Each structure stands twice: as structure tokens, then as C-alpha cells.
């Protein structure tokens, strides 16, 4: 029931002024259904780690194993800013990943509608993204990330662009979604409070001169 197995994964970028170490070697194991938060100072490699797990970037070394055999798309990704197609309605945005996966239009609409309800956007399915608030757009982006049912959801500071009250609401929404779907979730955040509120396990990435990174695991009892 290991969902994600990361062993000695590191990442170096070649830039104009030389090489940049974006991620020192990390090893972590994540079980199916766990909710993990990752905190750490800016630039320590949190986004890089998520991008490597998602396949958006390729690791410079080490191995990443996802136990997701037979899944067309193992990972859903939610970015800091909600990325939606501006000319498409909310339902068309949410259904979009299904349009290319051989699902019928009727089935796609049903799946999308269920997700739109789950994230609290019922009634807005025909709206365009610009007609919604930032928090609502991010809810739609979460629904879209879930639409082709990936077992893993990766979120890179998903709520940092919304106001604090909205953020609290979205946190509770996310917990409900996690409880009802059983997804394995990795969430990067700048907020220690948010990390501890949401997760079973908080990973703290530290940056020290000369020895950039270690991961401390903080296990939390769920109230």
C-alpha cells in the first residue's frame, strides 16, 4: 500500500551562471490515502519535488515509483494560480481532461457536474472563469484536477492567492474531498498552521549552508 516511493531523488538545473541545485537528494515513502504537507523556506525545492513526482520535470538522479498501474494519468496537479481555459465554461473546464480520454460526452458531463457539486460550485457550471472569484476558480481547478480520477493529488500552494477567510473555507472543503475520495494528497504550503491543520504528516524541508536539505517527518494525531 505504498503509493509513492522516492529514493535519493535530486534535481540540478543548468543556468547561464552555472548549475543550480534545486533539490538535494530526498527519500520519502508515502502510503495510499495519506495527506502530507510539505513546508520549508522559499527556494528549498518544494515545487521542484512536486514537479518531479508529477512528471512535469525529470529528476537528475534517484528513483520515483508511483504505485498506479493501469492509470492513464496517475497525478492531478493544482497550481498556485487557478489555471483554467478562459473561453470555456466551468463545466467544460472540469470536463476537459475527460474529452481526450474516450469518455462519452454524457458521462463526462455527469462526472464534471458531480465534482462541481463536491467543490461547492453547484449553479456555476455555465459561468466563465472570469465571472468567479479567485477562490471559486481554485475550487474549479481542483475539480478539474480530479476529473479523470487520478489516485494522487499534488497541490503547490493552492490557496496562497486567496484571502484568509476563503482560505479557511477551502481548507475545510479540501479535507472533505480528501475524506470522501481517499486520494493521496501532497500539499506544499508556506503556512505551518495550514500544513498541520490539513495533514497526517508534515514534512519540513530545511535549508542550511553547505547542506541544503533534510526532511524531518512530523507525525500528527488526527483529532
Minimum CB distance to ligand ADP smaller for 54 or for 147: 54
**Binding of ligand ADP at residue 43 (CB under 6 A)?**
yes
Site for ligand ADP in 2-31 (CB under 6 A): 13, 15, 20, 22
- In the numeric block, the cell 500539499 is attached to 187
List C-alpha distances in Å: 47 to 6, 33, 86, 143: 15, 21, 25, 21
CB of 89 to ligand ADP, least distance (A): 28
Distance, CA of 69 to CA of 123 (rounded, Å) = 36
Separation of CA 187 from chain center: 6
Range in contact with ligand ADP (rule: CB under 6 A) among 45-53, 108-116, 120-128, 142-150: 45-53
**Binding of ligand ADP at residue 48 (CB under 6 A)?**
yes
Residues in contact with 222: Cβ distance below 8 Å, sequence separation at least 6, in sequence order: 200
Q: How many residues bind ligand ADP (CB under 6 A)?
A: 12
3-state secondary structure of 2: strand
Range in contact with ligand ADP (rule: CB under 6 A) among 41-49, 67-75, 93-101, 108-116: 41-49
Residues that bind ligand ADP (CB under 6 A): 13, 15, 20, 22, 40, 42-48
Amino acid at each position: 500500500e505504498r503509493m509513492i516511493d522516492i529514493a535519493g531523488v535530486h534535481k540540478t538545473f543548468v543556468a547561464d551562471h552555472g548549475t543550480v541545485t534545486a533539490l538535494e537528494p530526498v527519500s520519502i515513502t508515502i502510503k495510499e490515502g495519506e495527506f502530507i504537507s510539505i513546508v520549508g523556506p522559499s527556494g528549498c525545492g518544494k515545487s521542484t519535488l512536486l514537479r518531479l513526482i508529477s512528471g512535469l520535470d525529470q529528476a537528475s538522479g534517484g528513483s520515483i515509483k508511483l504505485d498506479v498501474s493501469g492509470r492513464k494519468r496517475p497525478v492531478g496537479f493544482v497550481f498556485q494560480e487557478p489555471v483554467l481555459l478562459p473561453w470555456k465554461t466551468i463545466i467544460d473546464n472540469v470536463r476537459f481532461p475527460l474529452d481526450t480520454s474516450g469518455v462519452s460526452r454524457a458521462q463526462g458531463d455527469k462526472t464534471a457536474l458531480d465534482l462541481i457539486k463536491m467543490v461547492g460550485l453547484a449553479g456555476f457550471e455555465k459561468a466563465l472563469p472570469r465571472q468567479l472569484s479567485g477562490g471559486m476558480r481554485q475550487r474549479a481547478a481542483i475539480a478539474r484536477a480530479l476529473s479523470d480520477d487520478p489516485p494522487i493529488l499534488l497541490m503547490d500552494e493552492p490557496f496562497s492567492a486567496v484571502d484568509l477567510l476563503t482560505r479557511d473555507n477551502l481548507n475545510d472543503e479540501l479535507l472533505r474531498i480528501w475524506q470522501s475520495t481517499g486520494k493521496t494528497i501532497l500539499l506544499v504550503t508556506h503556512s505551518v498552521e495550514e500544513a498541520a491543520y490539513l495533514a497526517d504528516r508534515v514534512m519540513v524541508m530545511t535549508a542550511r549552508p553547505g547542506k541544503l536539505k533534510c526532511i524531518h517527518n512530523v507525525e500528527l494525531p488526527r483529532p
